[in-house]
Amino acid sequence: MYNIEDTKKLLEKRLSKKRYVHSLNVAEQCKILSNLAKLSPEDTARCYYAGLVHDICKELPTQEMKKMVVATNSNFPVSRSELASKPLWHSIAGAYYVKEVLGVTDSDVINAVRFHTVARSGMTKIEEIVYMADLISADRDYKDVKRMRKLAYADLDLAMFEALKFSIVDITGKNGLIPHYTIEAYNQYAYMYKNKFAK
Ligand SMILES: [Fe+2]
Ligand SMILES: [Fe+2]
């Protein structure tokens, strides 16, 4: 299994104190959400590790990040809109780093890092939990964080739907580009919402 102590040491070297604390907080939220989702101890450990490393490339110089984004060779190609949005690069670079440098072969962990910014349709439970844990970690203080936390603890699917709606509105408010991964994710939860609640 993953060596958590060594990973924490690596993160301490690569990240500012603030980002390191954020990473620990996200990992803690992963544990909480995994327990609520009744994941096995093994899956909870995988989820905790993914939460810990999700921002591992966040503070790299842009050029270094870009190299990894360009070198990405996965089933999930980097979209044009992602290439045009620098704040998204760290998740793509992070997945590359985790896979190629740390030698992680667990696709849930790699994809959880890859999609913690844009989401995608067909996310596994571990990917969803990391996405949500990043939004509700203890260091987050945006206006609706308490409501989001409550929702995530009560109904992860509905929380994903709300988070994606929020994200899309936020992007359009800034005249930004919406990656197709995000739109497809939104549609998936919108269908789910229709079936689950609109009867
Ligand atoms: Fe991030
Ligand atoms: Fe993060």
Distance from Cα 155 to the centre of ligand 2, integer Å: 21
Query: What pLDDT is attached to residue 197?
Result: 67
CB 105 within 8 A of CB 171: no
CA distances (Å), origin 122, targets 38, 119, 189: 19, 9, 10
* Residue that the structure tokens 């509905």 belong to: 158
Query: What pLDDT is attached to residue 198?
Result: 62
Distance from Cα 94 to the centre of ligand 1, integer Å: 9
Token representation of residue 127: 């990917």
* Nearest ligand for residue 58 CA: 1
- DSSP label of 79: P
Distance from Cα 198 to the centre of ligand 1, integer Å: 33
- pLDDT tens by residue, the chain, 199 residues: 899 999 999 999 999 999 999 999 999 999 999 999 999 999 999 999 999 999 999 999 999 999 999 999 888 999 999 999 999 999 999 999 999 999 999 999 999 999 999 999 999 999 999 999 999 999 999 999 999 999 999 999 999 999 999 999 999 999 999 999 999 999 999 999 888 766 5
Distance from Cα 87 to the centre of ligand 2, integer Å: 11
How many alpha carbons lie under 13 Å from residue 17 in its C-beta half-sphere? 0
- Of the candidates 111, 130, 135, 133, the one whose C-alpha atom is nearest the C-alpha of residue 122 is 111
Distance from Cα 54 to the centre of ligand 2, integer Å: 6
Distance from Cα 129 to the centre of ligand 2, integer Å: 12
- Of the candidates 5, 93, 19, 114, the one whose C-alpha atom is nearest the C-alpha of residue 49 is 5
CA distances (Å), origin 166, targets 23, 36, 139, 176: 22, 23, 19, 14
* Nearest ligand for residue 57 CA: 1
